[in-house]
Chains A and B, each alone.
Chain A
Amino acid sequence: MLMRTTLAGLMLLAASAMAQPAGPGRGPGPFGGARFLGAEAGMPGRVVKNAPYSADVVTETTQTLPDGNRIHQVTTVKMYRDSEGRTRSEQSLKNLNGLAPNASLPEVVFINDPVAGANYALNPSARTANKSAWMRPAMAMGRGAGRGARRGGGDNPNVKTESLGSQVVEGVQADGTRTTMTIPAGRIGNEQPIQMVTETWYSADLKTVVLSKRSDPRMGETVTRLSNVSRAEPPATLFQVPADYKVSEAPRQGRGGAKQ
């Protein structure tokens, strides 16, 4: 009987512990802030070979509120791609588009290696790497060749695409396209038609968009540009996990489908 009582007490203690919030580094954290728990390299992008480069991808978003107030945010990602199609992106998480205000989130590095069939999310401050094996399904590859390709007008009368010619953008030759999408009046309860304009400048040499401008009256303006572009082959070590990193496996593996 006494033994049962003891075990019951232990059970109560364990159950009480279970009532605590889950996750590493338990504790409420600063009010209004956020805490970084981990990163995972997800579905890789289209594999592009024989077009190596490195650049800063700078994205500026500007939103003007009805009272004249403005929200302006700038995000910079350091991007590398080698001739085999491996990519590496280094970025500061900042506040995750306002989802994690007042947060002190670390810099993370994502490596996608289609040759080895592995993807990594690195946490340089903790010297850790999270390995995953997402692969892009073959069927997705035919649906578009880039960020601008999905907005082809086709037979949709509400989508109009026009060429802007060719010019040098950020030091590389690029072809421009403007796509205007219109939401007719009444479609989503709007009294007047809503027009969204996207302008993209695509470099055939880099096989990527070097400049895009997007204007949506509901969201404001977003400009993404490549700067400090270098077409030199990035060092191979950038696409490898440093030897002193502790590597763990992500629980989700290869859900995307077959390897390209």
Chain B
Amino acid sequence: MNCQDFWNTMPELARHGEYSGHLRECTACAALWERQRSLMAGLRAVAAESGHWQASAAVEARLLAEFRSHAGMASGPRFTGPALVWGTLAGWAAAAAVLIALAMFLVSGRQPQLARRSAPAAAEWAAAQTSPDFVLTGDSPYDDGFIPLPNTEGISPTEEVNLVRVEVPRSAMIELGFAVSAERASEPVEAEVALGADGLARAVRFLNE
């Protein structure tokens, strides 16, 4: 069995251990399979946490009727004609509303997290590359996770500073001393860049690690 055969057979639906032979032979599929299992486990955990959520009785009744009509199960009152159409629309509208509300709730809770330098020497390296009069501390608002860019002049305490938010390849973090794996080098990462009065980029901080 090759990799394509393996994935074409929808292994996630197979019994445990049925495809372990291919996974033992192919490290790429094994890694991907493990990642998929982790993802599914996480999704199931999210679903389990929301198991207590209930739709209204009317919506549930309409959804049940619609599912039963498609499955050929004849039980309970059945909607026909316009009632069936409206019942279907109402059911799907309710499901869509739940989905949108849930997505907005989850998205609104996501705040960018400052990247943490995984290399302990990153700060020292950046400091060594920078002018000793670089000012990003004290009363400056730019002391919160900003690190000076290499080969740039410092920011004066009275200097105008503006911010630009960009999405850059994660490989841009390497130059500043962050540890980035080769596999993730091309992934995007959000960054805030502090510009000096001369328009030059002086410092940066990475947000969504």
Chain A positions within 8 Å of B, measured between CB atoms, are: 2-4, 6-8, 10-19, 21-23, 28-29, 31-46, 57, 59, 61, 63, 75-77, 87, 89, 91, 93, 96-100, 103, 105, 108, 110, 112, 121, 134, 136-137, 139-141, 143-147, 149-151, 181, 183, 188, 196, 214, 216, 218-220, 222, 224, 255-257
Contact = CB atoms under 8 A, between A and B. Distances in A.
9 contacts: A14-B106, A35-B168, A37-B165, A57-B197, A61-B200, A87-B160, A99-B193, A121-B162, A149-B158
Given A22-B110, A99-B191, A222-B153, A31 B186 contact: yes
Contact of B152 (A97, A112, A140): A97
B162 A99 contact: no
A36 B139 contact: no
B141 A16 contact: no
A189 to B, nearest CB: 8
A144 B102 CA distance: 52
A97 B164 CA distance: 13
B60 interface: yes
Contacts, number: 218
B17 to A, nearest CB: 24
Nearest to B167: A35
B107 A18 contact: yes
B141 A42 contact: yes
Interface in B19-50: 39, 42-44, 46-47, 50
Given A8-B47, A21-B188, A59-B199, 9 more contacts: A14-B106, A23-B167, A34-B172, A35-B168, A61-B151, A97-B151, A99-B191, A143-B157, A222-B153
A40 B162 contact: yes
Please report whether the interface of chain A is mostly helix, strand, loop or mixed according to DSSP. Answer: mixed
B54 interface: yes
Interface stretch (B2-10, B78-86, B114-122, B128-136): B128-136
B50 to A, nearest CB: 5
A183 B46 contact: no
A146 B158 contact: yes
The winner among B42, B54, B168, B199 for most chain A CB atoms within 10 A is: B199
A59 B200 contact: yes
A154 B158 CA distance: 19
A233 to B, nearest CB: 20
Given A75-B200, A219-B131, A222-B153, A141 B158 contact: yes
B18 interface: no
Contact of B160 (A6, A13, A112): A112
A3 B54 contact: yes
Contact of A31 (B99, B110, B142, B169): B169
Interface in B132-188: 132-133, 135, 139-142, 149, 151-153, 156-169, 171-172, 175, 186-188
Contacts of B161: 42-43
A121 B192 CA distance: 14
B89 interface: no
A198 B116 CA distance: 34
A22 B208 contact: yes
Nearest to B140: A43
A6 B194 contact: no
Given A10-B102, A87-B160, A99-B193, A29 B167 contact: yes
Given A22-B110, A37-B190, A257-B139, A140 B166 contact: no
A23 B139 contact: no
Given A29-B167, A32-B169, A34-B169, A150 B162 contact: no
Contacts of A136: 158
Nearest to B204: A99
B201 interface: yes
Contacts of A181: 132-133
Given A36-B164, A257-B139, A6 B158 contact: no
B64 to A, nearest CB: 6
